[in-house]
Structure 1
Amino acid sequence: MFLLALSAPALSQTVDSQGAKQLSDDLSRYVGKQAIDKGILKVSLEGGAYKILFDFKALAASFPDQKLLKFDFAPYALMVKPRSDGSWDVSMDFSQSASFEFNGPEGLQSTQFSIKDGKGSGVYDPNLAAFTSGTSSMAGMTMTSKDAKQHMEASAGAGIATVAATKSATGGVDFTTSQKVSSFVEAINFDDPESGLKFPVTVRSPELSVEASGKGVQTKPLLDLLAFAVANEDEATLKANQAQLKSLLFAALPLWQRIDGTYGFKDFAVESPVGNFGATQLSTVFGSDGVAQNGTITYGIKASGLTVPTQLLPSWSVGLLPTDVDLNFGGANIDLDSMAKKAIEAFDLNKNPPLSAEFGQQLKADFMAKSPKVVLGHSTVKNKDTEIALEGEMTFPGEKPEGSVTVDVAGFDKLVEGLQEAAKSEPEVSQYVPVALMAKGFGKTLPDGRLEWIVNAKADGSVTVNGVMLKPADPAVDDGDGDDDSGDDSGGAGAKLNP
């Protein structure tokens, strides 16, 4: 937020009181003049640089509904200095020791946190509205939070983060960022006096990492939208200037071309009263196109070296548990571009609602007409004997789901043998054996020995497996609107029974 003040090129300006005032004026464009007047943000000269101070206590005092009982939070400060190329050198010490208490919906809530030896520096380019380079680090952090039903303690060791950005060939900014934190621990103790629930859970990982990248992020147009929002806070001004708002919204599209990221834990462990869960590697991945005519969204969960408390499971099932999971799903053919442009063009803030219900229904119909898909990307679930692979998609013709999924299994015979062996000592397992054999009968054996099932479910309700009809189409529904106008209510759909 501080860096909004650096929206104007430095252009080798002299660091002086006039420059400090200019920075303050630039900052007020994005945060409002009141933030400057109330001392929430201050710009001053210090050691040949500008100091931009953010006062959290002044911010808290400005809230009309004061439920804070305690608020100890030291101000944060940025040191910024103009460079000869028009960019800014930025440095910051974000070490902190803070605490606050307030009356929440569950009664008194309190939080304390600290950051040890937190430092950051980088180069900010106002022409890109982004850091072209930057690094930050900390020696460690702690956090404690408590309310009537829950007590949480979290801590982490040393951490480091980097960021870099360049001008995108397609407009906007391309960026990459990464972060690693060591010795992450979070302990949550649920203690609900009303229900009697007491359940402590501790999550651990020696390394937490985050990676993200973006293409064509529209940083400058998004800043222009923020400035417009600040300048048009009251309803009357906003309505009067909605033509400008529409122009700025169009300019900000598509928001970004693509954003991707991963969030991962090494040697992830969960300790609980029912036993310990773990994974040598646990990660999530996500990705999203911007506002596009044919956009995609992807999401994935990947875990390897999975372990669960086996005392919770029947002994025969332990060998069937997966040790590695890679699940990928998302959406495709997502036309947000047409929706956004039509909505921006049509909305009228002088009407209530700004967009009519009829327009919303038409927008939905147009969106569905582009055949958006729910996609199951190539996914696998496996253990030492068996690997299951899945892939498929679903569409909604006529607003009814229609989809197909391909399932490949390697080691299916091993799975059946395991069930048959378990059935000798566990009679209840015997009920699963014929089901597995029937499934094998529907399967197609591939050249490498894997079994494959291609399942197609049509909008008419029919289901086929490898071309064999498993379920026929649903019977046509008689709506009772035939040509017989005799008035005879003795039968047919919708007939009334006379007692």
Structure 2
Amino acid sequence: MNATQAANGGVDFTATQTIADFAETLDFDDPKSGLKFPLTIKSPELSVNATGKGMRTKPFLDLLAFAVANEDEAKLKANQAQLKSLLLAALPLWERIDGSYGLKDVSVESPVGHFGAAELGTSFGSDGIAQNGAINYTIKAAGLTIPPNLVPAWGTALLPTDINLNFGGANIDLDSMAKKAIETFDLNNNPPLPADFGDQIKADFMTKTPKFIIGHSTVKNRDMEIAMEGEMTFSGMKPEANVTIDIAGYDRIVESLQAAAKSEPE
């Protein structure tokens, strides 16, 4: 792990970890149904990576020190003005955090057979508490395999071997919400926030037109590829989607189903 002073205050860091010969055994046991489903997951390499920009480490430590010094409820209530000041100083918590983990040559042994993947991984990224923040997720898999005879022969041709999904959110205003909550709460009241506070910040949040975004994503195998991308907004609390879906190899899908209908009419 490496860390340096950030240009705008706080700390920038990078962290990398690699685990060789990863192995894990999971036992799913449902007493009601009597179903037992053990899984053994193995991979010669598990990698974990993380990066952060502008982590507000000093304000975090100040908050921790305040918590230790104000364990008594009466003292905490008396010093809540200081608490609010410390909370505001900690914003936006960080500028950006990104992390990922990945497995290579994954093997999953189960009662129904062997599953595998040449690569399997996911990543996550998030801005700090900002007025126009973004969140991103990615799920990737390559070289997927399933046990033989688990699905009919014609169905195998329809199963994906590679998956790349990208989605997240944009126009996310958590800054206004956080500052309003800090300004409004009063530890002398029970509850500390007014009953209608949730409705207020929800309405404020939606006025910034947050978006759910589908980045360019694909699901494919040797014969076909499905690609999609688009976004969804929530004007007036009603979702409105604009998504483009492209299918390559559609004719091969139809041919596979037609051939199956002839050989396996049931």
Q: TM over 0.5: same fold?
A: yes
Shift of residue 361 of structure 1? 0.9
Aligned counterpart in structure 1 of residue 24 of structure 2, from 167, 186, 201? 186
Tell me the equivalent position of 2:150: 312
Give the secondary structure class of the aligned counterpart of 1:330: strand
- Equivalent runs, 1:315-330 vs 2, <5 Å: 315-330=153-168
**Equivalent residue letter for 1:341:** K
Q: Deviations over 1:281-317 (max 9, x none)?
A: 0000000000000101111110000011242212211
Give the secondary structure class of the aligned counterpart of 1:189: strand
Shift of residue 191 of structure 1? 4.4
Tell me the equivalent position of 1:276: 114
Q: Does 1:384 align with 2:216?
A: no
Tell me the equivalent position of 1:176: 14
Tell me the equivalent position of 1:211: 49
In 2, Cα distance between the equivalents of 1:195 and 1:381?
34
- Equivalent runs, 1:331-342 vs 2, <5 Å: 331-342=169-180
Tell me the equivalent position of 1:288: 126
Q: Does 1:421 align with 2:264?
A: no
Aligned counterpart in structure 2 of residue 352 of structure 1, from 190, 193, 209? 190
**Equivalent residue letter for 1:406:** T
Tell me the equivalent position of 1:110: none
Tell me the equivalent position of 1:251: 89
The number of equivalent residue pairs is: 266
What is the TM-score with the length of structure 1 in the denominator?
Answer: 0.52
In 1, Cα distance between the equivalents of 2:84 and 2:225?
52
Aligned counterpart in structure 2 of residue 407 of structure 1, from 232, 245, 250? 245
Shift of residue 385 of structure 1? 1.1
In 2, Cα distance between the equivalents of 1:393 and 1:165?
36
What is the TM-score with the length of structure 2 in the denominator?
Answer: 0.96
Shift of residue 359 of structure 1? 2.0
Q: Deviations over 1:324-378 (max 9, x none)?
A: 0001111111000000011111111001111112222111100011111111111
Where does structure 1 lack aligned partners over 5 or more consecutive residues?
Answer: 1-162, 429-499
In 2, Cα distance between the equivalents of 1:274 and 1:366?
51
In 1, Cα distance between the equivalents of 2:114 and 2:194?
53
In 1, Cα distance between the equivalents of 2:190 and 2:28?
45
Tell me the equivalent position of 1:235: 73
Shift of residue 252 of structure 1? 0.3
| Percent pairwise identity | 71
**Equivalent residue letter for 1:405:** V
In 1, Cα distance between the equivalents of 2:29 and 2:98?
38
Shift of residue 415 of structure 1? 1.9
In 1, Cα distance between the equivalents of 2:38 and 2:192?
48
Q: If you compute each CA radius of gyration, which structure gives the higher value, 1 or 2?
A: 1
**Equivalent residue letter for 1:205:** S
Shift of residue 420 of structure 1? 2.1
In 2, Cα distance between the equivalents of 1:232 and 1:377?
46
In 2, Cα distance between the equivalents of 1:291 and 1:195?
45
Aligned counterpart in structure 1 of residue 203 of structure 2, from 343, 365, 378? 365
In 2, Cα distance between the equivalents of 1:176 and 1:304?
26
Q: 1:359 to 1:190 in 2, by over 3 A?
A: closer
Aligned counterpart in structure 1 of residue 231 of structure 2, from 393, 396, 399? 393
Give the secondary structure class of the aligned counterpart of 2:131: coil
In 1, Cα distance between the equivalents of 2:249 and 2:26?
40
In 2, Cα distance between the equivalents of 1:323 and 1:360?
44
Shift of residue 426 of structure 1? 2.4
RMSD: 1.3
In 2, Cα distance between the equivalents of 1:251 and 1:197?
52
Shift of residue 210 of structure 1? 0.1
